[in-house]
Amino acid sequence: MQARVWAPKARAVELVLGDERRAMTRADDGWWAADDELAPGTDYAFAVDRGDPAPDPRSAWQPAGVHGPSRVFDASAHAWRDTGWSGVDVRGAVVYELHVGTFTPEGTLAAAAQRLDHLVSLRVDVVELMPLAAFNGEHGWGYDGVGLYTVHEPYGGPAALQEFVDAAHGLGLAVCLDVVHNHLGPSGNYISLFGPYFTDAHHTPWGAAINLDGRGSHEVRRWICDSALRWFTDFHVDALRLDAVHALIDDSPTHLLAQLSDEVAALQEQLGRPLSLIAETDLNDTVSLTPTSQGGWGMTAQWADDVHHAVHALVTGERHGYYVDFGTPEVLRTALTEVFVHAGTYSTFRGREWGRPVPPGTDGHRFVVFASDHDQVGNRALGDRPSERLDPGALAAEAALVLLSPFTPMLFMGEEWGACTPWMYFTDHPEPDLAQAVREGRRREFGGHGWTALYGGDIEVPDPQAPETVERSRLDWSEPTRETHAELLDWYRELVALRRGDPDLASGDLTATSVRFEGDDAPGTDGATGRGAPDEPSGPWEGWLVVHRGGARVAINLARSERTVPLGAGGPFTVEAAWSPATLLPPDDEDPTTRLVLPARGVAVLTSPPADPVD
Residues that are catalytic? 243, 280
Task: Tell me if the bond preceding 572 is cis, omega within 30° of 0.
Answer: yes
308 annotated among ligand-binding-site residues? yes
Strands (E), 25-89: 25-26, 31-37, 43-48, 70-71
Question: What CA–CA distance (Å, rounded) separates 512 from 504?
Answer: 8
> Is 379 assigned a ligand-binding role in the annotation?
yes
244 labeled part of a ligand binding site: yes
Q: If DSSP states are collapsed to H, E and C, what string results for 164-183?
A: HHHHHHHCCCEEEEEECCCC
Ligand-binding annotation for 236, yes or no, is no
Residue 242 annotated as binding?
A: yes
- 496 a known binding residue? no
Shortest CA distance to 271 belongs to which of 299, 231, 311?
231
Tell whether residue 307 is among the known ligand binding residues: yes
Does 144 show up as a binding residue in the annotation? no
Q: Mark residue 451 as left, alpha or beta (left: phi above 0; alpha: psi -120 to 50; beta: remaining).
A: alpha
Local structure of 346: helix, strand or coil: strand
304 labeled part of a ligand binding site: no
DSSP 389-436: TS-HHHHHHHHHHHHTSSSEEEEETTGGGT--S---------SHHHHH
Burial 315-337 (b: 16+ CB within 10 A, else e): bbbbbbbbbbbbbbbbbbbbbbb
Residue 470: which of 578, 346, 383, 372 has the closest Cα? 383
Is 377 annotated as belonging to a binding site?
yes
Helix-strand-coil split of the chain, %, nearest 5? 30, 20, 50
384: annotated binding-site residue?
no
**342 among annotated binding-site residues:** no
C-alpha separations of 27 from 5, 7, 10, 32, 57 in Å = 11, 10, 12, 6, 18
Q: Is 460 exposed, middle or buried (0-12, 13-18, 19+ CB in 10 A)?
A: exposed
Is 383 labelled as part of a ligand binding site?
Answer: no
In the annotated binding site for substrate, the residues are 241-246, 305-309, 374-379
In the annotated binding site, the residues are 241-246, 305-309, 374-379
